[in-house]
């Protein structure tokens, strides 16, 4: 793809607003565009998208493409890939950035194949080298090391892990051009159709957005203790999480999983109960400002990363902890 001239972010909407992952992509995209002295562009796909343009301007966006079509009202991978491919053909982006979300993980590989290029997966950092190539860093060996990978094709696609980029609003707004983009789509392009959508009910704070998270692991011994963790999280105004072992055992849904193959979280306070601290789990919570751990094994790896730790049986420690929180918050 000749005459590459911009960074393109594939934006997403969550519950009627710009997703936090999109804001992270715009932040890193602005930095990349500045280093190249090129434009930062973003595309939203769907219908009735004009209401979101004002939010996008605060991230230094130069051109906002509103890909509006009746067939894009609901997410459909075949049509989304086709719409973005058409846009890329007409705008020649140097790099295309996606979030490691359910949508991004599905679109990224398919876009790379369609555009005849490769894809940097699960990046936690992006930069531009002296040859104007995109360089991504990603965890390997269960999060024990970082690999630095240089993308040498064009366009350069990268999927960025959520909650690894600190969002920053730009003091200087971008050009703010708004382009009503209508892709050429037809129902015949759909090869796989969504038969049914089931939304899992979520009460309280979303795990990814919570400032306080209370997580349990294999050391809890079963599903019942998670009720105590949920009570504690509720008292603190936080969310409940879990290790992979607890999710694999069926004690709690996989949507609660924190870790390399689960969700990445960056809370102000992370309380773990019965979690040993395997590297795969720590890869998902390393951004936590303060970690407090309860574990009966004094040699548990979790204590190496904890600001505070309690060595003891959670059955003896947790009830007193919950009672103390209740007394401090006047909760019953």
Per-residue pLDDT of the chain (332 residues; tens, 9 = 90+): 557 789 999 999 988 889 999 999 999 999 999 999 999 999 999 998 999 998 888 888 999 999 999 999 888 999 999 999 999 999 999 999 999 999 999 999 999 999 999 999 999 999 999 999 999 999 888 777 899 999 988 999 999 999 999 898 776 667 889 999 999 999 999 888 888 887 776 667 889 889 999 999 999 999 999 999 999 999 999 999 999 999 999 999 999 999 988 999 999 999 999 999 998 899 899 889 999 999 999 999 999 999 999 999 999 999 999 999 988 877 65
What is the C-alpha to C-alpha distance for residues 185 and 204, in angstroms, rounded to an integer?
39
Check if the beta carbon of residue 322 is closer than 8 Å to that of residue 225.
no
Instruction: Report the pLDDT value the prediction gives residue 327, as an integer from 0 to 100.
Output: 87
Give the CA angle between residues 162, 301, 236 to the nearest 5°. 55
Reading the block at residue 9, the tokens are: 């972010």
The 8-class DSSP code of residue 95 comes to E
- Which pLDDT belongs to residue 21? 95
Q: How far apart are CA 267 and CA 258, in angstroms?
A: 12
Strand partners, 311: 295
Q: Which of 133, 149, 138, 164 is nearest to 35 (CA)?
A: 133
What pLDDT score does 82 carry? 97
How many residues make up the chain in this entry? 332
Q: Is the peptide bond before 155 cis (omega within 30 degrees of 0)?
A: yes
pLDDT at 92: 95
Q: Two tokens at 228?
A: 């105590």
Domains present along the chain, CATH in parentheses: 6-189 (3.40.50.620), 207-329 (3.40.50.1220)
Three-state helix/strand/coil letters over 231-270: HHHHHCCCEEEECHHHHHCCCCCHHHEECCCCECCCCCEE
The answer to whether the beta carbons of residues 238 and 212 sit under 8 Å apart is yes
17: β partners: 14
Task: Round to whole Å and give the CA distance between 83 and 96.
Answer: 14
pLDDT value at residue 206: 87
């Amino acid at each position: 793809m000749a005459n590459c001239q911009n960074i393109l972010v594939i934006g997403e909407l969550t519950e009627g607003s710009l997703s936090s992952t999109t804001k992270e992509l715009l932040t890193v995209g602005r930095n990349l565009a500045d280093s190249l002295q090129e434009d930062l562009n973003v595309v939203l796909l769907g219908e009735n998208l004009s209401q979101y343009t004002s939010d996008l301007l605060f991230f230094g966006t130069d051109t906002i493409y509103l890909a509006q079509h009746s067939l894009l009202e609901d997410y459909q991978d075949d049509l989304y890939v086709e719409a973005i491919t058409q846009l890329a053909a007409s705008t020649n982006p140097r790099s295309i950035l996606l979030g490691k979300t359910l949508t991004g993980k599905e679109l990224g590989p398919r876009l790379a194949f369609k555009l005849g290029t490769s894809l940097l997966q699960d990046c936690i950092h992006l930069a531009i080298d002296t040859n104007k190539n995109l360089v991504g860093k990603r965890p390997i060996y269960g999060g024990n090391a970082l690999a630095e990978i240089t993308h040498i094709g064009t366009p350069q696609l990268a999927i960025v892990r959520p909650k690894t980029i600190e969002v920053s609003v730009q003091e200087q707004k971008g050009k703010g051009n708004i382009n009503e983009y209508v892709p050429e789509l037809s129902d015949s392009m759909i090869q796989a159709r969504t038969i049914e959508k089931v939304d899992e009910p979520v009460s309280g704070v979303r795990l990814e957005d919570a400032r306080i998270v209370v997580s349990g692991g294999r050391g809890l011994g079963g599903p019942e203790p998670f009720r105590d963790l949920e009570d504690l999280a509720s008292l603190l105004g936080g969310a409940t999480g879990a290790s992979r072992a607890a999710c694999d055992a069926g004690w709690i849904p996989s949507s609660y999983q924190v870790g390399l193959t689960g969700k990445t979280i960056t809370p102000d306070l992370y309380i773990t109960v019965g979690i040993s601290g395997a590297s795969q789990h720590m890869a998902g919570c390393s951004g936590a400002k303060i970690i407090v751990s309860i574990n009966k094994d004094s040699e548990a790896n979790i204590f190496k990363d904890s600001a505070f730790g309690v060595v003891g049986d959670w059955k003896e420690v947790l009830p007193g902890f919950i009672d103390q929180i209740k007394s401090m918050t006047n909760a019953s």
